[in-house]
């Protein structure tokens, strides 16, 4: 399995499970020099050159999502999110690489991201989560206030970033006069399954599929299914 689905290399995490001492899985970028760097959040853009979407601002805080089903060069309903112009892989392997988890960091340094390492990362992360849940439950202060509510939402722009199981999930929202004026979502599978951008660079899945030996089975090869599933995709409602 380690020979299948070699990824493009760069990965990120928005950071997950906040605590007084920071995050259990920290925010960061596994960048082009294969080192952990700060995550330049302002460098997130959306490219629609190969998506059935009408062009708008590249900045998710200002862009819109308007379908354009007759667009000639398009082949996906998925936009192409980019960080500093580059495709980025997200998910458990990205979180654990950015977090410096010893086994995952070693596997990635030996063979990069691939089907086997993605599956190992998901289960190693599950083990870490199980231990953390025990500790959090013991540390809960009982019968305390449980929510800090704000009554009004002032005019302005808001960004919500979280690590869902499948990877980095971002919501960009603008509010005016107490109402939502604009709302954009970049979901984890949109990062992983993004189509090509205007430089003709494919997203993580496309790059992982390149060079796969499909033998006589062609597009029905089980190797393709392993690679696609190793990203734990969710494409059911992809229209971002």
Partner 1 sequence: MLATNIAHAGENAADHLTHFYIFFMPDFAREAYAAHGWHEETRERFAATRGSAARDVLPARARLLETMGIVAGKWLHSLAFQPGGTTRAIDLGERVRLLSITTAFRSFLERIVFADTLENVLAISSASELDRWRDGRGGDFALSCGLRTVSR
What residues form DSSP beta bridges with 180? 175
Which of 45/170 has CB closer to partner 1? 170
Please give the structure tokens belonging to residue 94.
């990205």
Which of 171/182 has CB closer to partner 1? 171
Q: Measuring CA to CA, how many Å separate 29 from each of 34, 86, 94, 148?
A: 9, 12, 9, 30
User: Which of the ranges 51-59, 60-68, 71-79, 136-144 carries the binding residues for partner 1, by CB under 8 A?
Assistant: 136-144
Among 12, 24, 88, 93, binds partner 1 (CB under 8 A): 24
Find, among 87, 162, 163, the residue nearest to 125 by Cα. Answer: 163
Which of 68/181 has CB closer to partner 1? 181
**Helix, coil or strand: residue 179:** strand
Determine how many CB atoms are found less than 10 A away from the CB of residue 214.
13
Minimum CB distance to partner 1, residue 150 (Å):
7
Minimum CB distance to partner 1, residue 1 (Å):
5
Determine how many CB atoms are found less than 10 A away from the CB of residue 64.
12
Which of 43/225 has CB closer to partner 1? 225
Determine how many CB atoms are found less than 10 A away from the CB of residue 199.
10
Minimum CB distance to partner 1, residue 186 (Å):
18
Q: How far is the C-alpha of 82 from the C-alpha of 88, rounded, in Å?
A: 7
Q: How far is the C-alpha of 221 from the C-alpha of 170, rounded, in Å?
A: 34
x/- binding map, residues 46-85, to partner 1, per CB under 8 A?
----------------------------------------
Site for partner 1 in 111-130 (CB under 8 A): 111, 115-116, 119-120, 122-130
Q: How far is the C-alpha of 87 from the C-alpha of 85, rounded, in Å?
A: 7
Q: Which residues bind partner 1 (CB under 8 A)?
A: 1, 3-4, 16-20, 24, 92, 102-103, 106-107, 110-111, 115-116, 119-120, 122-134, 136-140, 142-150, 160, 162-166, 212-217, 221-223, 225-226, 229-230, 232
């Amino acid at each position: 399995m380690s020979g299948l689905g070699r990824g493009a290399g760069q990965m990120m995490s928005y950071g997950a499970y906040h605590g007084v001492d920071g995050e259990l899985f920290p925010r960061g970028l596994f960048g082009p020099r294969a080192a952990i760097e700060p995550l330049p959040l302002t460098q997130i853009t959306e490219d629609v050159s190969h998506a059935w979407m009408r062009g708008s601002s590249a900045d998710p805080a200002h862009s819109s999502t308007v379908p354009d089903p007759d667009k000639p060069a398009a082949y996906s309903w998925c936009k192409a999110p980019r960080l500093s112009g580059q495709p980025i892989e997200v998910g458990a392997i990205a979180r654990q690489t950015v977090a410096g988890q010893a086994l995952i960091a070693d596997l990635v340094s030996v063979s990069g991201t691939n089907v086997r390492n993605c599956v190992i990362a998901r289960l190693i992360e599950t083990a870490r989560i199980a231990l953390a849940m025990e500790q959090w439950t013991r540390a809960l202060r009982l019968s305390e206030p449980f929510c800090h509510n704000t009554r009004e939402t002032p005019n302005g722009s808001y960004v919500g970033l979280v690590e869902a199981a499948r990877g980095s999930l971002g919501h960009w929202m603008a509010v005016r006069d107490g109402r939502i004026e604009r709302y954009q979502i970049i979901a984890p599978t949109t990062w992983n399954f993004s189509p090509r951008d205007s430089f003709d660079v494919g997203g993580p899945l496309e790059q992982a599929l390149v060079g796969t030996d499909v033998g006589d089975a062609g597009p029905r090869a089980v190797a393709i299914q392993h690679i696609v599933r190793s990203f734990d995709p969710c494409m059911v409602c992809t229209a971002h």
